[in-house]
Structure formats: structure tokens, C-alpha cells
């Protein structure tokens, strides 16, 4: 009897396992799959997704360029594909619907839906990026669509973005910018706006207003990059972080000995005529600069450390130089370049000519100047522009894309969807793909 009872007991256990194991397995799979589904849901928070979710995130957030063009071949330098895209661009420009101020005001009435439809990445893609936030000063005056596409291209939830819009821009533009920025907790409009006038001090003041606001932010940003409405990145955020880290606390910008014809810009007093928004040269000579270094030539676009930005507001000699520069012509093209050679500025480069840096060697901005385009085999710094020119600067076309993406700069200027939307669409596709596939080499 004991043996029979033992056999019956084992038989019962066998039946129990036979029925309970599948149930347990089903329960495990249900809970496990539910857990994975939760992890791979798109969220409006800054949690870094687990690796297994990256593919599904990319499928939902890719920015594949519309139309027949093959961006991969264009990026690789396939000239036949470039020619097809340029022909397609002529047709597409006639059919393209431009997004207006009103369309963005309407689209942002539901911010969550706006972020989803426009495919913003609302989470950090790596710990390295999350631990190295970047601050942006974005100075704009028109073209709301280009501003929004630029913001989307550089947006991550751990960075911080200040937007300065020209005070004299149309009210509808102001409303559209505020509508877009209101959909993001880390994007804001500058607390003080100015009427920006080309070549006047006010272009510098717009950046300074944003810089002052960004210093008050709780985001512990490391570097500041300033942009305008015709800029677009040619690096992913991860690539920018690596490039900024490699600077080892230095700034990066154009800073060279100026040509003689530019010197009158700061040797004479200039007046701003409010009625015409023109800068007028006077016969009044200015006193020498209060800085103990000569004036250097550069441009408006810079990559600078947080400590450099802070020194602009607290260093008395720097404050004197800023005041001295307010009645000069196009101070944005020498102010930063000169301050970066002043030894009291964090991240500076010595004033000796050995440390002169051209715009090609700095990482801040890639620009093609019409007068310097030509045959690189004969010494030209870059190939001819495939788009058009505006104020002697190339507005990039599709044929520039292969060259653009081989450069070390973080941003390039100028872009305009009315001139060539293909080059912007292919950049959007490329940058979004590379952001999610950081280890792949695409060129």
C-alpha cells in the first residue's frame, strides 16, 4: 500500500505539472511581453531606451526623405543621382506647400500630437549625451518652417534652447515661435527682444540676451553654440558631444589677423539710423580698444564654454570692451574673435599669430564664400556651390551634400528650402538614421 500510495502521489504531481507548466509559461510570456511593450512605447520623458527598443523607436521616428530621390546615393557622391534630384527639385518647388505661421499655430494646439507628428525624439539616446548638455542661442527673424526643422534636428530633452526672434518680425511669426517653444520644457523665448539690424550692435545683443537667460537656467550645460535661421547641423548630437569634449575646455571659432580694409569698422564711430535701419560711417575716430590685445577678425558663429559666457557679464575689462564696440560696424565679426585671444577669457587661444584660426579650421560653422570657390586640385578651399548665392555666400544645393558631410564642422550655413529642399531632407534622413545607428559609417 505505501508503494501504491506513492505512485498515486507521483501521478497526481505529473498531472499537476502537465497542466500548470503551460499556464505558468503563458503567464511569464504575457508579463514579459507586456514589460517589453511598456519599455518600447514612445514616451515624453528623458529615459534612455534599452538597446532592444532602438530599432522600433527608429521605425517610428525615422525622417526618410519623400519622393523618388535616393539620399544614400547622393551622400555617397553619385552624380547621376544628384542630377536626378536637382531635376526633381525644380518640379517639387512648384508643387511644394510652404508651412505658414498659422499652420504651426494650429498644429501646436495639441503639443503631444505635434511632437508625435513632427517626430521629435523626446528621450536621450545615450548616457554620454545626457551627461553633456549643450546650450543654444537661436537668433531668427523669419521662415518659421526652417526654424522648426532646425529645432527638430538639434533637439534633445537634456539640452537647453533660447530663441531670440527679431522684435520687428510680424506678430504672426512671434505667435508661431511662442506656440512651438511652448510645447517643450527646455525651449524658451528670450526674456528681452531687440530690433535686429544687419551689421549693427543689436545682432550681438540678441545673442547676449539669450546667453544671460541661459546662465540662469538650471540645466548644467557645458558649451554654448549660437545659430541663425539659415543654419543646419551636419553632425548628430552624439558627434557634437564628442567634438566638444575633444576641445578640452577651449573655444572654437574663426579668429585671424584682419585685412586692412576691415579696420575702419572699429577705428571709426558708426551711427544707426532708426528711420532707415542703416549703419552710417562718421568722420569721428574712436579711442583704441580697452583690451590689451589687437582686434582680430572672425564671424558671428561660435562654440564657447559656459565659463567664457559667464565672463562676458562679470569681467570688468570685457564689459568695457563690449561697451566700446557698440558704435562700430558689424561687431559680431570681430568681437568674439578678439575676446577669444584675451588671456582672461576661459578657453582662450593666445594672441600670437601662430594661433590664428580660419573658419575652415574652426568647428563652429562651415561656409562657402563665392570668391573662394573653385578647383580644389588647383588650390581652391572648396568646390563650387551647387545651389545659389546670397550675399556672396553659398545657399547649399543637393550637389554639396557629399562634400558637406566630409567636413569636421558642427553646422553649415546657408540652407533654404525654397532654393533646394532636397539637401535639407537628405540631411534630416541622414542625421536621424545616424543618431539611432551611432556605430555605422555611412561615408
User: Can you spell out the DSSP letters for 113-175?
Assistant: HHHHHTT---S-S-HHHHTS-EEEEEEE-S-HHHHHHHHHHH--TTSEEEEEE-TTS-HHHHH
Which listed residue (333, 370, 428, 429) is catalytic? Answer: 333
Residue 44: pLDDT band with limits 50, 70, 90 = low
CB 357 within 8 A of CB 409: no
Query: Cβ contacts of residue 218 below 8 Å, gap of 6+?
Result: none
Helix, strand, or coil here: 220? coil
Note the pLDDT tens digit of each residue in 129-149: 999 999 999 999 999 999 999
Neighbours of 126 (CB within 10 A): 15
Residue 32: pLDDT band with limits 50, 70, 90 = very low
Higher pLDDT, 253 or 442: 253
Task: Identify the H or E element spanning 391.
Answer: none
Question: Catalytic: 440?
Answer: no
Residue 94: pLDDT band with limits 50, 70, 90 = low
CB 301 within 8 A of CB 364: yes
What's the DSSP call for residue 374?
Answer: S
Distance CA 307, CA 293 (A): 20
Query: What's 265-320 look like in SS3?
Result: HHHEEEEEECCCCEEEEEEEECCCCCCCCCCCECCCCCEEEHHHHHHHHHCHHHHH
415: closest CA among 253, 240, 229, 145? 229
Helix, strand, or coil here: 393? strand
User: What is the model's pLDDT at position 47?
Assistant: 76
- pLDDT exceeds cutoff 60 at 272: yes
* 269-276 mean pLDDT: 92
User: Cα–Cα distances in Å, from 298 out to 54, 257, 359?
Assistant: 41, 9, 8
Strand 411-413 with 231-233, pairing? antiparallel
CB 327 within 8 A of CB 201: yes
User: What is the model's pLDDT at position 440?
Assistant: 78
Q: How far apart are the first and last CA of the chain?
A: 80
Q: Which of 10-14, 175-179, 381-385, 420-424 has the lowest mean pLDDT?
A: 10-14
349: closest CA among 332, 361, 366? 361
CB 219 within 8 A of CB 158: yes
Distance CA 266, CA 330 (A): 9
User: What is the model's pLDDT at position 364?
Assistant: 98
Q: Which of 11-20, 198-207, 280-289, 363-372 has the lowest mean pLDDT?
A: 11-20
Note the pLDDT tens digit of each residue in 105-123: 999 999 999 999 999 999 9
CB 439 within 8 A of CB 112: no
User: Cα–Cα distances in Å, from 132 out to 219, 235, 244, 282, 362?
Assistant: 10, 16, 9, 46, 21
Neighbours of 438 (CB within 10 A): 15
Burial class (CB in 10 A: 0-12, 13-18, 19+), 379: exposed
Higher pLDDT, 63 or 98: 63
* 410-435 mean pLDDT: 97
CA-angle at 193, arms to 190 and 197, nearest 5°: 130
CB 332 within 8 A of CB 247: no
Distance CA 78, CA 84 (A): 10
Amino acid at each position: 500500500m505505501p508503494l501504491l500510495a506513492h505512485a498515486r502521489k507521483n501521478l497526481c504531481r505529473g498531472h499537476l505539472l502537465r497542466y500548470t507548466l503551460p499556464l505558468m509559461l503563458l503567464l511569464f510570456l504575457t508579463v514579459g511581453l507586456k514589460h517589453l511593450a511598456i519599455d518600447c512605447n514612445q514616451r515624453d520623458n528623458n529615459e534612455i531606451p534599452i538597446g532592444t527598443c532602438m530599432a522600433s523607436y527608429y521605425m517610428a521616428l525615422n525622417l526618410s526623405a519623400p519622393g523618388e530621390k535616393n539620399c544614400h546615393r547622393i551622400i555617397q557622391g553619385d552624380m547621376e543621382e544628384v542630377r536626378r534630384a536637382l531635376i526633381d527639385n525644380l518640379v517639387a518647388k512648384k508643387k511644394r506647400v510652404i508651412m505658414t505661421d498659422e499652420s504651426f499655430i494650429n498644429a501646436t494646439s495639441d503639443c503631444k500630437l505635434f511632437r508625435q507628428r513632427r517626430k521629435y525624439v523626446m528621450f536621450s539616446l545615450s548616457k554620454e549625451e545626457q551627461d553633456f548638455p549643450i546650450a543654444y542661442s537661436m537668433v531668427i527673424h523669419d521662415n518659421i518652417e526652417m526654424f522648426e526643422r532646425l529645432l527638430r534636428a538639434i533637439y534633445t530633452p537634456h539640452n537647453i534652447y533660447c530663441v531670440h526672434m527679431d522684435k520687428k518680425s510680424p506678430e504672426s511669426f512671434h505667435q508661431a515661435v511662442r506656440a512651438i517653444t511652448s510645447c517643450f520644457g527646455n525651449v524658451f523665448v528670450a526674456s528681452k527682444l531687440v530690433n535686429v539690424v544687419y551689421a549693427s550692435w543689436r545682432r550681438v545683443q540678441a545673442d547676449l540676451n539669450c546667453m544671460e537667460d541661459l546662465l540662469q537656467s538650471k540645466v548644467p550645460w557645458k558649451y554654448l553654440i549660437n545659430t541663425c535661421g539659415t543654419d543646419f547641423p551636419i553632425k548628430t548630437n552624439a558627434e557634437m558631444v564628442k567634438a566638444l569634449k575633444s576641445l578640452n575646455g577651449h573655444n572654437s571659432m574663426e579668429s585671424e589677423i584682419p585685412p586692412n580694409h576691415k579696420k575702419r569698422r572699429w577705428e571709426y564711430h558708426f551711427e544707426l539710423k532708426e528711420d532707415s535701419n542703416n549703419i552710417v560711417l562718421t568722420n569721428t575716430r574712436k579711442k583704441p580698444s580697452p583690451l590689451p590685445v589687437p582686434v582680430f577678425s572672425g564671424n558671428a558663429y561660435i562654440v564657447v564654454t559656459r565659463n567664457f559666457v559667464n565672463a562676458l557679464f562679470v569681467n570688468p575689462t570685457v564689459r568695457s570692451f563690449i561697451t566700446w564696440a557698440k558704435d562700430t560696424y558689424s561687431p559680431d565679426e570681430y568681437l568674439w574673435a578678439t575676446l577669444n585671444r584675451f588671456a582672461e577669457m576661459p578657453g582662450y587661444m593666445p594672441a600670437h599669430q601662430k594661433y590664428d584660426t580660419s573658419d575652415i579650421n574652426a568647428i563652429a560653422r562651415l561656409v562657402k564664400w563665392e570668391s573662394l570657390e573653385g578647383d580644389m586640385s588647383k588650390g581652391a578651399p572648396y568646390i563650387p556651390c551647387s545651389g545659389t548665392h546670397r550675399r556672396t555666400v553659398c545657399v547649399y544645393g543637393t550637389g554639396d551634400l557629399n562634400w558637406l558631410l566630409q567636413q569636421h564642422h558642427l553646422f553649415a550655413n546657408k540652407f533654404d528650402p525654397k532654393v533646394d529642399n532636397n539637401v535639407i531632407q537628405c540631411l534630416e534622413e541622414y542625421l536621424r538614421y545616424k543618431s539611432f545607428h551611432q556605430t555605422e559609417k555611412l561615408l
